[in-house]
Structure 1
Amino acid sequence: MKYLLTLLVVVCQIQLTFSQSNDLAERLMKSHEKYKETTIKNRRFKHKDIQPLISKRRTNDAYEISKVGESFEGRSISMIKVGKGPHTIMAWSQMHGDEPTATMATFDILNFLEGKGDGFDKLRKTILDSTTIYFVPMLNPDGAEKYQRRNAQGFDLNRDAMFLQAPESKILKDLQSKIKPEFGFNLHDQGPRYSAGRSEKKATISFLATAYDYPRSINSVREKSMQLIVKMNRDLQQFIPGQVGRYADDHEPRGFGDNFQKWGTTLILIESGGYAGDPEKQYIRKLNFMSLLTAFEAVADRSYAKEDKVNYENIPENGRSLFDLIVRGATITKGDNTYLSDLGINRNEVNYANASRFYYAARVEDYGDLSTVFGTEEINASGLTLAAGKVYPTALNNIQELQKLNPKELFRQGYLYIKLASTDSEKLPLSSLYESPFHFLERGKLPPGTSPELGSTGTFLLKKGNIVKYAVVNGYVYDLEKFKTSSGNGFIE
């Protein structure tokens, strides 16, 4: 009887802890807008954009800001230290230059830690009194400048933990050696088409408790990674149910995450993926804000130790089950023959010259039977025939002529392609063309003569008899019955 009473008390305490954790997560999500760093509004910011956010904190006694080195091209790499507690945490983001979501969240968190009198003072005190956090908000500023994964040497920094030929890699290794953090947060972005398991749901956030050897052994250091991830997953499930994934934990001896674990730092690798309707990853930024703060609290009060590491394995592994668009069961005509096919189309980002902006270039990346995968957007093309679009007979000379065109009427008539008579950027600025819902052909360029196949641009018609039901331009769908245009879909070739 005494044993049962003790067990009941323990269960009640655990349930109360979980309830309090859920409440905190919800309050942080609701309050994020108050702490959101307003100078960073989209994800293609550069090194110069975050320097004022670092510099303004130099006069704040709560921080210790240091230059820890320079990138290959000579850009400064800074570290921001906050807190005075015994549990040391090191968090670094933009190890890959085109993975900025956690960098945005880092400055939101710093804004939060500076607040007071808003109902979160107890949380701040717990974190700042019990932990010391070292933030490196942009480890690869040269990559960020070009919005590319690798550094200026062409190295993937997360595969340079042993070779150490990149200055940025040496900085990270030296920091680990000097600080010897108890916990490390390796903050990344992943592609938006990872799925949570084999499902239609995007893996909006993915985790990995990195393995420090090939047998994927679990010691006390790695066990803490799993326990903390279990807690973070539970908090996230309130807001993205079924959209948290887990990477396969195959050992990568060149990876910093694997080596941090080997060097004695409990390492949590976080990947920010995709979320429908959030191309600039602002909702995912909010999820990072909440999840990291609740994780810091769990480190501060050691509440993560109550978690069962077995539940780590219950998080579904990341899958590759998603396309941006799937057209299902379209009728394809080739010569005198017809057959059915699905089309899997992805819209890939392509940088403008200075990498501050981008446009989408869609491609048909799979063809045939796609019944085992999913589309973020899908068209049921049963009974519809896939056909090539036509070229509008009059070439464009200036932006005024473009503005007079009626997309719905042109699509209804089968016109998807518009010829450009001029390449003068003042008469026809690229930004206006990419914002338009047409597939533009530069002077002398011919459109494809047949319906799209594997590897072709995602521009075509879906017709029922002679009636156009859908126009697909650069992988974006226009339903002629429920017509509406959207911006940022144009393509030039």
Structure 2
Amino acid sequence: MNIAKSLKFLTQTLFLLALTANLGFAQKTYSKLPVSQLQSVYEKYKEPAIAHRRFKHADLQPLIQKHASAFKVEKLGESVDARSISSLDWGNGSIKVMLWSQMHGNESTATMALFDLFNFLEGKNDGNDELRNLLNSELNLKFIPMINPDGAEAFKRRNSLDIDLNRDAISQISPEAVILKKARDDFEPEFGFNLHDQQTYYNVVNTPKQATISLLAPAYNYETEINEVRGRAMKTIAGMNELLQELIPGGVGKYDDAFEPRAFGDNIQKWGTSTILIESGGYPNDPEKQEIRKINFMIILNALHQIATKGYENYSTEQYFAIPDNGMQLVDLMINEMQVKVNGKPYPIDLVIRRRESEANGSYYVSGSIDDLGDMQVYFGFETLDATGMEFTLGKVYPEAFESVESISQEKALELLRGGFLAAKVKNGTARQLHNLPIQVLKSTEKVSGGWMTGSAPNFFLSKDGQLKYAVVNGYLIDLQNPKTQEYKNRVL
């Protein structure tokens, strides 16, 4: 009888202990960082030395050295053209996290955000010491900004061997790829952040919403299976998306997870690091991506907080898969129902135009191209024109040459356009010289380039009843009666 009572008492005691433990676990909830705190921290610690996205390797070196007292700065190696690649380490915790940026030289948004983050981590006595101390005690962070400094120098995607570093994880032909692989193997991070930019034409699929941020937990095999490593990345992304929906509601896409056996993100996931891809797209009126820089800072800091507190365990893979997919349905200009004549017969067509950037003398110009035509109802235009009743009309070259680009004013260019002239010649100047005029400027040719078929340069007029209504110059739409003030990133031809 005493034995039975003792067993009953022991059973009840164990039950109460378990209940207490469970209640304690239930009460231990993840406390998210307030948006207001993240915003104020960014404004305080934004790095003022970087104000545009076309910075170069030399611009970063003094900024790296600025942090040498608070971070462990290490030169990891050199690029093809002998530019240094460095890491910055911070934190005394047991959870290792590696963040690398600018694998593609012209994808610089996250690099800016990392230097803002360095400033924050080095700060003190600002009301954020509790957060900073938490990160320091729980995390061991390794940052590698600008993996591809040679590509950054020319503001191009590939390195000086013309290799895409994100397709060199296995062969490691490029010294930059060797450096990144060795850094991962030596550090053995539990989490990794692969930081990129994507084209501004990505949208949240089947909507006109720009995918300002796209996220992905890359697959580690062709079957796109989910193991514990990839699952952690998915849950962290679900928490990041919760914050993003406050910042850019409806502006988040999920990148395609088709396995790419040569890619770093896919392989680093395969090698046991929970890998999170962040792709920075476009945002209205943000050509230098300063607003997206701020968003990067906020979601990276939020994610680090999730990892430090294991807050990602409050989210599910189902929440990750609920993020809508990326589309590629945005265009700069969509013209609907434009009449073109073939063999004397008119045909109504839609056409879509994209203007892509190219580097030039430390700045950039755009080159417009007609991407597609026909029935374009699946596309969304940043600018759309209903051209019902309007006809495609060729332009002419003004017969008298101007002295230089500088001798053509905006008003004169518009006057020429209204007279049916799409182009003006100049006596002096150089081909590829940049200008901000709403007209073609010719130095090395005397012909207007343009047409309405795919691949053509989008230079033409739209007329109605014999009257010119609109000009399209290098893909820019100009209302001839009510032209709006805008910047034209054109060049002399």
> Above 0.5 in TM-score?
yes
Q: Report the CA distance between 1:52 and its aligned residue.
A: 0.5
Map Cα deviations across residues 303-324 of structure 1 (whole Å, 9 max, x no partner). 1111011111111111111111
Matched-pair contact (CA < 8 Å) for 1:387–1:451: no
Matched-pair contact (CA < 8 Å) for 1:419–1:443: no
AA matched with 1:472: V
Matched-pair contact (CA < 8 Å) for 2:340–2:348: yes
SS at match of 2:34: helix
SS at match of 1:69: strand
Q: Report the CA distance between 1:168 and its aligned residue.
A: 1.0
Q: Report the CA distance between 1:299 and its aligned residue.
A: 0.6
The match for 1:33 is: 43
SS at match of 1:453: coil
The match for 2:463 is: 463
Map Cα deviations across residues 284-314 of structure 1 (whole Å, 9 max, x no partner). 1111010100000001111111101111111
Residue 194 of structure 1 pairs with residue 217 of structure 2 = no
Q: Report the CA distance between 1:411 and its aligned residue.
A: 2.7
Residue 76 of structure 1 pairs with residue 84 of structure 2 = yes
AA matched with 1:477: L
The match for 2:61 is: 51
AA matched with 2:238: V
The match for 1:478 is: 478
In 1: Cα distance, 2:26 partner to 2:335 partner: 50
Indicate the structure (1 or 2) with the bigger Cα radius of gyration. Answer: 2
Percentage identity across paired residues of the two chains: 44
Matched-pair contact (CA < 8 Å) for 1:438–1:489: no
Change (3 A) 1:12 1:468: farther
Matched-pair contact (CA < 8 Å) for 1:473–1:490: no
Matched-pair contact (CA < 8 Å) for 2:237–2:276: yes
The match for 1:239 is: 247
Q: Report the CA distance between 1:57 and its aligned residue.
A: 1.8
AA matched with 1:464: K
SS at match of 1:155: coil
In 1: Cα distance, 2:229 partner to 2:337 partner: 50
In 2: Cα distance, 1:359 partner to 1:85 partner: 46
In 1: Cα distance, 2:444 partner to 2:160 partner: 35
Change (3 A) 1:457 1:253: same
Map Cα deviations across residues 314-344 of structure 1 (whole Å, 9 max, x no partner). 1111111111111111122334211101111
Residue 294 of structure 1 pairs with residue 302 of structure 2 = yes
AA matched with 2:156: Q
Q: Report the CA distance between 1:163 and its aligned residue.
A: 0.7
Change (3 A) 1:322 1:399: closer
Which stretch has the larger CA shift, 113-122 or 157-166?
113-122
Matched-pair contact (CA < 8 Å) for 1:98–1:143: yes
Which runs of structure 2 are paired with 1:30-429 in the superposition (5 Å)?
30-58=40-68, 60=69, 62-352=70-360, 354=361, 356-403=362-409, 405-423=411-429
AA matched with 1:72: V
In 2: Cα distance, 1:87 partner to 1:444 partner: 61
AA matched with 1:252: E
In 2: Cα distance, 1:322 partner to 1:222 partner: 30
Change (3 A) 1:480 1:423: closer
In 1: Cα distance, 2:383 partner to 2:333 partner: 5
In 2: Cα distance, 1:397 partner to 1:7 partner: 83
Matched-pair contact (CA < 8 Å) for 1:349–1:359: yes
SS at match of 1:199: coil
Change (3 A) 1:79 1:417: same
The match for 1:3 is: none
Matched-pair contact (CA < 8 Å) for 1:474–1:489: no
AA matched with 1:173: K
Matched-pair contact (CA < 8 Å) for 1:102–1:288: yes
In 1: Cα distance, 2:295 partner to 2:253 partner: 14
Map Cα deviations across residues 365-416 of structure 1 (whole Å, 9 max, x no partner). 1111101211122111122222122322321212442137434333333322
Change (3 A) 1:343 1:208: same
In 1: Cα distance, 2:411 partner to 2:101 partner: 45
In 2: Cα distance, 1:30 partner to 1:121 partner: 14
Map Cα deviations across residues 244-290 of structure 1 (whole Å, 9 max, x no partner). 11122121121111111111111001111112221211111111010
Aligned residue pairs total 474
**Superposition CA RMSD, Å:** 2.3
TM-score (norm 2): 0.91
In 2: Cα distance, 1:361 partner to 1:451 partner: 14
Q: Report the CA distance between 1:9 and its aligned residue.
A: 11
Change (3 A) 1:226 1:394: same
Matched-pair contact (CA < 8 Å) for 2:352–2:376: yes
Change (3 A) 1:414 1:195: same
AA matched with 1:210: P
AA matched with 1:409: E
In 2: Cα distance, 1:318 partner to 1:332 partner: 33
Q: Report the CA distance between 1:100 and its aligned residue.
A: 0.7
Matched-pair contact (CA < 8 Å) for 1:68–1:171: yes
In 1: Cα distance, 2:328 partner to 2:334 partner: 14
Q: Report the CA distance between 1:190 and its aligned residue.
A: 1.0
Q: Report the CA distance between 1:189 and its aligned residue.
A: 0.8
Change (3 A) 1:175 1:400: closer
AA matched with 1:116: K
In 2: Cα distance, 1:326 partner to 1:11 partner: 53
Change (3 A) 1:444 1:191: closer
The match for 1:445 is: 446
In 2: Cα distance, 1:314 partner to 1:339 partner: 42
SS at match of 2:247: coil
In 1: Cα distance, 2:458 partner to 2:430 partner: 26
Which stretch has the larger CA shift, 398-407 or 239-248?
398-407
Q: Report the CA distance between 1:34 and its aligned residue.
A: 2.6
The match for 2:17 is: none
